[in-house]
Amino acid sequence: MLQAGTPAFQSHPPSPAFFVRPTEPVTLAELYVMTDSKLFIPILLGTPRKNRESENVARWVFAKLAQRDDIESQFFDVCDFEFPKAEYGQDIKDQFPEWRDAIIKADGLVIVTPEYNHGYPGTLKSVLDLLLREYVHKAVAFVGVSAGPWGGTRVIEACVPMVRELGLAVTFSDLNFPKVGSKFDENGKLLDEAYENRVQGFLDELAWMARTLRWGRENVSSKFHT
């Protein structure tokens, strides 16, 4: 059922042009004009490890987000979250207001995660577990990083059921950095030009998901955001 409404935690005003279902399919560019505001898509660097290679990857993807005129972003680093020893999860979300408010406002999220024993770093899980309802019906895209040849494909597969439980909708176009130690020079400059095309496709798909889901949140009623 299509219905104009004001979701409890939406960040954008509903788009009057879309209260009526369009009779013709629209392009993403047309939807951008009709909804008339940039997407907000933060990026989260998922490991606190000293000398982490994933930081080069996250900084490079963040720069690519910043170059787009349809997306605003904000950089988050799990290193900056100081967790209490005996408290966990949503109970302490107000101790991290910047993260809380960014996800409330967000249309999507990019997660940059290294592969640690085919899984994700525990600190990344601790940050994601701070919130729940705030993620619902928003897009998430993964950037996998590994020393080995698989580019974090296994950690991304491990993340999918976890973010599904958070209510996030996962894109199917990941970005993978295998053998990451050879991908950047000592100044953090990416040495492989093939990533220029890859990151455009990755972000285009994320933008499609994020904008379409934003329209859905603003115009289609749901018990999670009405």
Ligand X SMILES: Cc1cc2nc3c(=O)[nH]c(=O)nc-3n(C[C@H](O)[C@H](O)[C@H](O)COP(=O)(O)O)c2cc1C
Please say which residue, 115 or 134, places its beta carbon nearer to ligand X. 115
Question: In the bound complex, what is the minimum distance in angstroms from residue 129's beta carbon to ligand X?
Answer: 20
Query: Residue 166: how many CB atoms within 10 A of its CB?
Result: 18
Question: In the bound complex, what is the minimum distance in angstroms from residue 31's beta carbon to ligand X?
Answer: 35
Residues 141-160 close enough to bind ligand X by CB under 6 A: 145-148
φ, ψ (nearest 5 deg) of residue 46: -95, 5
Question: In the bound complex, what is the minimum distance in angstroms from residue 126's beta carbon to ligand X?
Answer: 16
Bridge partners for 138 per DSSP: 168
- What is the C-alpha radius of gyration for the chain, rounded to an integer number of angstroms? 18
φ, ψ (nearest 5 deg) of residue 152: 80, 15
Question: Which one among 68, 100, 118, 137 touches ligand X, defined by CB under 6 A?
Answer: 118
65 closest CA partner among 39, 46, 92: 39
DSSP code at position 22: P
Please say which residue, 14 or 178, places its beta carbon nearer to ligand X. 178
Question: Which one among 38, 49, 59, 133 touches ligand X, defined by CB under 6 A?
Answer: 49
Crossing angle for the helix pair 54-67 and 194-219, to the nearest 10 degrees: 60
Q: Does 58 bind ligand X (CB under 6 A)?
A: no
Q: How far is CA 139 from the centre of its chain?
A: 6
Question: Which one among 12, 31, 43, 53 touches ligand X, defined by CB under 6 A?
Answer: 53
Question: In the bound complex, what is the minimum distance in angstroms from residue 113's beta carbon to ligand X?
Answer: 9
Q: Which helix (H) or strand (E) holds 39?
A: strand 39-40
Question: In the bound complex, what is the minimum distance in angstroms from residue 139's beta carbon to ligand X?
Answer: 24
Question: In the bound complex, what is the minimum distance in angstroms from residue 123's beta carbon to ligand X?
Answer: 11
Q: How far is CA 129 from the centre of its chain?
A: 15
Q: Does 217 bind ligand X (CB under 6 A)?
A: no
Q: Does 117 bind ligand X (CB under 6 A)?
A: yes
State how far the Cα of 167 lies from the Cα of 138, in Å rounded to an integer. 7
Contact segment (CB under 6 A) with ligand X among 95-103, 111-119, 162-170, 218-226 equals 111-119
Binding site for ligand X (CB under 6 A): 47, 49, 52-54, 114-118, 145-148, 180
